[in-house]
Amino acid sequence: MPRTLKVYSSQEIGTWLATHPAWRLGDDGQLWATFTLKNFAQAVLLLNAIAHLAEVANHHPDLHLYGWKHLSVSLMTHDQGGITDLDFALVAQIDALPRPA
């Protein structure tokens, strides 16, 4: 049986994003963030940490490593057609990851 989750409105998402300034709601309806790390190795470490969180949650974002130290992340609950608590939970976990100074 397919799961049904609450899909949040743009206004609700905007309110929630006020506490997660690295993230924005894209025109495509996905949550987006871009992280710039010190070097390639740190970018790959962050990518792998996010991949681990996503695998544990069984909720997989799109990850794009580019320019040797930039990582963009986008996510939404595709089977629900929008942003749900699954997305908010994964964003919170990503934001809690340690980042090198």
Q: How does DSSP assign 25-89, residue by residue?
A: E-TTS-EEEEEE-SSHHHHHHHHHHHHHHHHHHT---EEEEETTTEEEEEE-BGGGTB--HHHHH
Cα dihedral across residues 53, 55, 56, 57: positive or negative: positive
Q: Is this structure's pTM higher than 0.85?
A: yes
Residue 101 lies in a domain: no
Q: What is the pLDDT along the chain (101 residues), one digit of tens a residue?
A: 567 899 999 999 999 999 999 999 999 999 999 999 999 999 999 999 999 999 999 999 999 999 999 999 999 999 999 999 999 999 999 999 998 76
Residue closest to 21 by CA, chosen among 32, 11, 29, 10: 32
Residue 23 lies in a domain: no
Residue 17 lies in a domain: no
How many structural domains comprise the chain? 1
Residue 1 lies in a domain: no
Residue 56's domain comprises 29-96
Residue 71 sits in a domain of what CATH number? 3.30.1360.20
